[in-house]
Amino acid sequence: MVAVAMVVTATCCGIRVRADDGGITEVPRIPELWPVHERLAQRVTSSGLPAPVLDPEQPGNIDQRLPATSTRSVASQSGTVLDPNQVGNLDLRLQEAQRRLVELEGKAEPLPLVKLSGFLQLDDGLFSQPFASQKRIGDVYDGVSFRRARLAAVGKLTDFTNFSIEMDFATAGRPSFMDVWGEQEQIPFFGTIRIGQFRQPGTMDGWTSIRHLEFLERNAVFQAFDPFRRPGIMAYAMSEDERTSWAYSVYATGLTFWNGTETLYSSIGDNRNGAQIGDNGGVAFASRVTHLLHYDELAEGRYLLHVGGGFHYAATGGIGSTGAFAKTFRSAFFPEFFVGDQTGIGLTGAGTPVVMDTGRILANGFSLTHLELAGNAGRFHFQSEVMLEGVDQFGGPTIYQPGAYAQCGWMLTGESIGYLKQAGVLDYNVVPYTPFFGTGRTGRIGGWGAWEVAFRWSYVDLSGTNLNPANQISNVEAPPPSPNAGVYNASTVGLNWWWNRFTRVQFNWIRPMPNYIGYGPAPFDIFATRFQVEF
């Protein structure tokens, strides 16, 4: 028997196999199988045969000089811009920067290494309200505003010490604290330890980067239940086979701020000043675990099935049962799009009101339990979570508030959504097979980018069953009133267009359908568009 050597090459048309006898066989390059072609070429190489020549213009081709890392993800391999504040991503971003520096100058930058990252999101929204909606929550104004405009300095101080200082110039305070933290990697038993202000290990949607959401805003259940970004300390790690990830933290749950008129205390929502004030309580524990039941290594996550869950417990901070610093719980949320900055709980700067509000409830603490299910099947993907929040009110039974959402999408142009193993989330960003560009005034459009259609349904129950009326200390009449209890349903149809890996345009038609206790249904429509650039 005579051994036949082969040379495997990835070309623009397919995988080309050439034997020593001169025969050439080419497997056609089908868009949906591009990742498979590249992995096939790599596997042949690992068997000892000559290295394939990979077409650098095709998605999924990895520069072999990129250092190996246990946190490698689909997004990093396909060239997607990674959010450096998402767990496991900073090393990948810096490795890419070092690789480019070596290509340009022939040498790597020494430590400490500091890089600039950022993004902007410009939103435009039109609100269509029937009389029932206007009477209950007030007239919602149309408008244009910068939803976010963030700059971050991220980097490595040593081989195992990382940091981030990210500020937002489109929120109250201008600028305001976002992800400001330092972390130490490779700690025995703990993995990586992060200290500062960051997104706590909560829901799957909460840990999905705001740069790479499938819709313009996270779902209403997240807004209502997830404490989100708070100062604290967190440990996170991943199993050797990269199938299981976990994270847990201890953080300050209370948030006190001045809205220009009065001091407000909140236990849910984004902390923008990195501060928590209170003599009693205000400490919380959060945890999250995810597992990949199936992950197609050959296709680099184009086919996968994800499960996960988490638990929060928070002791409310504050003093006594009266005043701005009373030990209270409050859950309130805006529709799944709003114009203007959230200057406080109630209205945005442009007048978009919260659509549902428990008001301030005297409570010792609250808990949040959630379960996740998500998957990729080629160009189709889905994600869903169910949540149950329990509020430990003063002198009464626990108030249970359920919520859930489900969303799915279909890539019209054949690409697939990425998956970040360390974070345990789908990464709703892609590198288009054909980036959108033109060929001059007398030319034509050279590519149409990547296109996706998506759908989401959200459900939140803030009807306040078992609430002791003596614990309800909010009393704002309207519009909108506080409390403003009821059941919220909303549907969203989305259309996403990626020009390239840095730029996208999104359109959402949102149909909020709140049903208020003692008032009835008050649905309305939102037509919203976003332009986003990141680097």
**Separation between Cα atoms, residue 450 and residue 460, nearest integer Å:** 32
For position 373, what pLDDT does the model report? 98
Whether 374 and 522 share a structural domain:
yes
> pLDDT at position 445, please?
82
Q: What is the pLDDT of residue 256?
A: 53
- At 94 the three-state DSSP class reads helix
pLDDT value, residue 267: 63
Phi then psi for 527, rounded to 5 degrees? -120, 115
Give the CATH number for residue 169. Answer: 2.40.160.10
- The pTM of the full predicted model, rounded to 2 decimals, is 0.82
| DSSP one-letter code for 294 | E
> 16 and 99 in one domain?
no
Give the integer Cα–Cα distance in Å for 431 and 89.
17
- Domain match, 224 and 340 both: yes
AA letter at 134: Q
The pLDDT value recorded for residue 174 is 67
| Domain that residue 24 falls in | 1-61
CA-to-CA distance for 518 and 151, rounded, in angstroms?
45
Contacts of 113 (CB under 8 A, 6+ apart): 94, 97, 98, 155, 156
Bond before 483 cis per omega within 30 degrees: yes
Residue 228 and residue 343 in one domain: yes
Any residues with CB less than 8 A from the CB of 144 and at least 6 apart, and which?
A: 122, 123, 124, 125, 339
Cross-strand pairs, 231: 197
Name residue 168's beta-bridge partners: 150, 176
Q: Which of 14, 29, 61 delimits the end of a domain?
A: 61
- Measured CA to CA, the distance from residue 501 to residue 432 in angstroms comes to 7
The dihedral through the CA atoms of 247, 502, 99, 12 has a sign that is positive
User: What pLDDT is attached to residue 31?
Assistant: 47
Mean pLDDT by runs of 10 across the 535 residues of the chain is 45 48 51 48 42 41 36 47 82 74 70 90 96 93 91 92 92 78 95 94 94 95 90 95 96 62 60 61 90 94 96 85 80 88 56 88 93 97 97 94 98 95 93 89 85 98 93 88 95 97 97 96 97 95
Residues 19 and 147 in one domain: no
Q: How far is CA 79 from CA 111, 399, 500, in A?
A: 24, 46, 10
User: How far is the CA of 122 from the CAs of 150, 341, 503, 506, 533, in angstroms?
Assistant: 12, 12, 12, 10, 9
Among 33, 61, 89, which residue terminates a domain? Answer: 61
| CA dist., res. 276 & res. 284, Å (int) | 12
Confidence (pLDDT) at 128: 96
The residues, any chain, with a CB within 8 Å of residue 534's CB and separated by 6 or more, are 81, 117, 118, 119, 120, 211, 502, 503
Phi, psi of 381 (to 5 degrees): -150, 155
Q: How far apart are CA 217 and CA 215, in angstroms?
A: 6
Please, what is the Cα angle at 64 between 301 and 163, to 5 degrees?
75
Place of tokens 């959630």: 370
User: 52 and 88: one domain?
Assistant: no
State residue 176's pLDDT score.
82
Residues 162 and 46 placed together within one structural domain of the fold: no
Q: Out of 36, 61, 86, pick the residue that ends a domain.
A: 61
Q: How high is the pLDDT of residue 42?
A: 45
Q: What are φ and ψ of residue 195, in 5° steps?
A: -130, 135
Question: In this structure, are 70 and 34 located in the same domain?
Answer: no
pLDDT score at 397: 95
Backbone angles phi, psi at 372, to 5 degrees: -125, 150
- 75 and 45 in a common domain: no
Domains identified in the chain, total number? 2
Indicate whether 237 and 324 sit together in one domain. Answer: yes
DSSP states of 179-196 as a string?
A: EEEEEEEEETTTEEEEEE
SS (H, E, C) 379-415: CEEEEEEEEEEEEEECCCCCEEEEEEEEEEEEECCCC
How far, in Å, CA of 467 to CA of 442, rounded? 68
Confidence (pLDDT) at 101: 67
Same domain, 186 and 152: yes
Residue with tokens 């902007």: 120
Contacts of 76 (CB under 8 A, 6+ apart): 82, 89, 92, 96
Instruction: Give me the pLDDT at residue 297, please.
Output: 93
Does 518 share its domain with 436? yes
